[in-house]
Amino acid sequence: MNKKKPYLIFILPGFILYFLFVVYPIFSAAQISLFKWNGIGEKVFVGFSNYKELFSNPVLLDQFLNALKNSLIIFVLTALIIIPLQVIYAYMIYTKTKGSKILQTVIFSPQFISTPVIVFIFTLMLDANIGVVNDFLTKIGLDFLAKPWLGMPSIGIYIVWLMISWAGFGVGMMYFIAAMNMISTDALESAYLEGAGFWTRLRLIVVPQIKNTIFNLILISYITAMTIFDYSYILGGVSGGVDGSVDVMSLFFYRIAFGDNNPLGGNLSENSMGMGTTIAVTLFIIIFIVAVLQMVLTLRKDEQDG
C-alpha cells in the first residue's frame, strides 16, 4: 500500500494529530455535556438536561444572549467596516501607491505587540483623566465630547472591537495582498490603457477575482468573533465588565467552567464542567452551521461562475 499510495505516509502524522487535538476533544466535550459534573467528583448522567437548563434558566439564558449579541456586534462591524478597509489598503500596497511602504509598516507593526500591552495602550488613551483622546478633544475646543470612555458600559464592546481591529488589521491584509498577487496583470493593464481609474479597477477587476478570499475572511472573522477571549477578559475580568458590557461567548464559557463557579477556582459548583462543556458544544454548533452554509454558498457560486 505504501508503494501504491506513498502520500499516505505524509498525511498520516497530520491526521493523527488532528484527530487527537481536534476531533477527539469535540466528541469528548459532547459526551461530558450529557453529565452533571464539577470536574473532580463523580459524573452523573443527565442526558440533555444541561441544554434544557441553559435555555430555560433566566440567569444563564440572559448571559448567553448578551455574550452572543456582543460577539455578533464584533463580527458585523468587522465584516462591514474592517474587511472593506483591508481590501482598499491591500490594493494600495499591491499597486505601490505613494507612501505604501510607510503604510505597510504602520499597519503591520501591531502584530509584534502582545494583547496585554494593546489593552494597556488603549486604557491609557481612553482614560478619563490622563487619556490622550480626552486631552486632544479639549485642546481643539471639543471638551464637551470628552467622556469617561472606559466607564461607559454602552460602548464597552465597541472598545474591544477597536482593539481587536487595530491588532489584527494587518493579518487580513496579508491574505488580500497574496490574493491580488495571483491576479493576471494583463487585465489590469488593459483596463488602465482603456482609461479605467484606480477605484474602477479595484471595483470591476480586483474585487471580483478575490471574492473567494473575501468570503473566507468573513468566515474567519465570524469564527474569531465567536472565540475571542483575551481582550474581554483583560479589560472586564471574569464577569465581562459592568453589566456584561464586554462579555463574549468564550468568556461566558470560561466563567461557567473555570471561573468563580469552578470548584478549583472559587465557590463550589456541582455542575461547572457539565454546563461549561454544554456552552462549548453549543458554540461549536453555532460556528459549524455558519461555516457549512458559507462553504455551500461558495461552492454554488463557483459552479455558477464555471
pLDDT category of residue 266 using cuts at 50, 70 and 90 = very low
DSSP structural state of residue 149:
G
Q: What is the pLDDT of residue 196?
A: 79
Tens digit of each residue's pLDDT (9 = 90 or more) over 144-168 = 888 889 889 999 999 999 999 999 9
DSSP per-residue string spanning 12-33: HHHHHHHIIIIIHHHHHHHHHT
Buried/exposed 210-234: b ≥16 CB within 10 Å, e otherwise? beebbebbbbbbbebbbebebbbbb
Stretch 232-238: mean pLDDT = 92
Q: What is the pLDDT of residue 299?
A: 78
Tens digit of each residue's pLDDT (9 = 90 or more) over 276-294 = 999 999 999 999 999 898 8
Q: What is the pLDDT of residue 106?
A: 83
pLDDT greater at residue 306 or residue 11: 11
Tens digit of each residue's pLDDT (9 = 90 or more) over 194-233 = 777 888 888 888 999 999 899 999 999 999 999 999 999 9
pLDDT category of residue 31 using cuts at 50, 70 and 90 = very high
Here the cell at position 163 is: 482593539
Please, are residues 113 and 229 in contact by the beta-carbon 8 Å criterion? no
- Residue recorded with cell 488589521: 169
Length of the chain, in residues: 306
Tens digit of each residue's pLDDT (9 = 90 or more) over 75-106 = 999 999 999 999 999 999 988 877 778 888 88
- Measured at the CA of 39, the angle between CA 33 and CA 41, to 5 degrees, comes to 110
Q: Is 294 helix (H, G, I), strand (E, B) or coil?
A: helix
Q: Mean pLDDT, the chain, as a whole number?
A: 88
